[in-house]
Each structure stands twice: as C-alpha cells, then as structure tokens.
C-alpha cells in the first residue's frame, strides 16, 4: 500500500448517535480510517458494532453526528443532498447484500445507469458499460435482465456498476451475504482484482474467510476501531519452493 497517494476515503473522528435521550445509541465513536487507492479494507465486528453505519456515512447515505468524511479529498459532510447524489454518481459505487440490480434494466443498462443519470448520452454510457463488463469477463451477461442471472452474476454486475466511469471507491455491505461459499469467492476475487487494478474498496462482512481477501482488516467494537491487521508477506508463513508459485 502506498501511503504517498491521497487517500480515496478518509474518515476523521467520525461519530454517529441514533436517537436521543433514553433511546440514545452511539453507533460510531470517533472513527479514523484511511483507504488508499489499490487497497481493499474489510471491516469486521459483531452486529451492532457500527459496521453498516460506517459504510452508509462513508457513502453519503447518512450524515455523521460529528466528524468529517473525505472522498478523494472532498469533505462530503459539507455537501447538500444534490451534491451527495452527484458524488454517488461520480465517485462512489455501492454494492449491497442482495437485490442490487434494478429489475427493469438489463445488466448493461444497470451498469450504464449512473452514467446516464449523470447526463451522458445513452450510447456512450452503454459503450462504457459494455467495456466495464467485458473487462470483468461479464460481457456475455450484458443483455440479460437481473431475474435471468444467478446471484453471483448479479453481484459481479453490481461491482461492475460500482466502478463504471471514473468511480474509484467501492463500498460493499456484506456483498457475499446471500451467496454460497464458492460463488461468494468469485465475487471477492473480482473485487480483489479491481482493487489490485487501482480501485479502493471498503467491505463490511462478518465472515472472516471473506474478510481475509482484504489487504487490511479493521476490527470494530462498540462503534470504535479496536484493532487492525495488515497483510504480511505470505512467504513469511510458508517456506520452501512453493513460494515461487
């Protein structure tokens, strides 16, 4: 991970309080987190630890009680609703647990959607979408509707949509939650490869096996980061000739 680059996502002293008075719940307490281009960060923690809240605030779907969120250097907490929508069109891609795709649109149209909403001509948006799909070996799905695709295919198309255009930040909320182990793997492999190709990714999961695909795993407890792992050189663990593989 290269620390020189500007982080794709920076959270600074982020807090979020739900409700007030007796029903007050501190979902996040002073989170600091940087995610750099090329990095995939997994956020783990027991349910209720604030994982999903963190993700929604990072994507501008929710607003923090205090603290700042910088996406590619811009403080998004200062943006209005319109600005946030534009940000989601241009900078942030979301992948949810399931039903990511709009049933009325084909895979290509789904991928093209953020671009079209942004006002790009339908033809250009489609070209971009087809390119994005092809790059992820999903070209054959282009003209299928969501209900003609398997769950894993849908999630992969959703990742393609999250990264179409200039978007370089993927926020994934349990992207494998609704999938079996094998299919979940393929989705993560795709996410991994996109991050290796330069995107930044934040993924919330409670499955250690999927979190292990990340470069860094952040442990969240009671709304605060308690620990994180950094990927070591795998060779340190395994010796012998196998390392050359």
Near other proteins in 117-156, by CB under 8 A: 117-122, 125
Binder of other proteins out of 43, 129, 187, 213 (CB under 8 A)? 213
Stretch that binds other proteins, among 13-21, 128-136, 149-157, 213-221 (CB under 8 A): 213-221
SS (H, E, C) the chain: CCCCCCCCEEEEEEEEEECCHHHCEEEEEEEEEEECCCCEEEEECCCCCCHHHHHHHHCCCCCCCEEEEEECCEEHHHCCHHHHHHHHHHCEEEECCCCCCCCCCCHHHHHHHHHHHCCCCHHHHHHHHHHHHHHCCCHHHCCCCHHHCCHHHHHHHHHHHHCCCCCCEEEEECCCCCCCHHHHHHHHHHHHHHHHCCCEEEEECCCHHHHCCCCEEEEEECCEEEEEEECCCHHHCCCCHHHHC
Binding mask 66-85 for other proteins (x = CB under 8 A): ---------------xx--x
Residue (12 or 206) nearer to other proteins, CB? 206
Least gap, CB of 43 to other proteins (angstroms): 12
Near other proteins in 1-20, by CB under 8 A: none
Binding mask 26-65 for other proteins (x = CB under 8 A): x-----------------xxxxxx------x--x-xx---
């Amino acid at each position: 991970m290269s620390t020189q680059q500007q982080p794709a996502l920076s959270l600074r002293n982020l807090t979020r309080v739900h409700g007030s008075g007796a029903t007050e719940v501190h979902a996040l307490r002073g989170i600091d987190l940087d995610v750099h281009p090329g990095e995939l960060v997994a956020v783990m923690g027991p349910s209720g630890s604030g994982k999903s809240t963190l993700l929604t605030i990072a994507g501008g779907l929710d607003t923090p009680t205090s603290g700042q969120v910088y996406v590619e250097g811009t403080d998004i907490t200062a943006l209005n609703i319109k600005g946030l929508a534009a940000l989601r069109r241009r900078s942030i891609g979301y992948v949810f647990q399931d039903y990511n795709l709009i049933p009325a649109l084909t895979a290509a149209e789904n991928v093209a959607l953020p671009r079209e909403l942004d006002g790009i001509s339908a033809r250009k948006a489609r070209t971009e979408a087809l390119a994005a799909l092809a790059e992820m070996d999903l070209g054959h799905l282009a003209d299928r509707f969501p209900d003609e695709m398997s769950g894993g295919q849908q999630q992969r198309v959703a990742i393609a949509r999250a990264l179409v255009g200039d978007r370089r930040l993927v926020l994934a909320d349990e992207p494998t939650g609704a999938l079996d182990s094998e299919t979940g793997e393929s989705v993560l492999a795709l996410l991994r490869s996109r991050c290796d190709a330069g995107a930044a990714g934040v993924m919330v999961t409670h499955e250690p096996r999927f979190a292990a695909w990340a470069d860094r795993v952040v442990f969240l407890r009671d709304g605060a980061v308690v620990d994180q792992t950094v990927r070591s050189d795998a060779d340190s663990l395994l010796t012998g000739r196998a390392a050359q593989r």
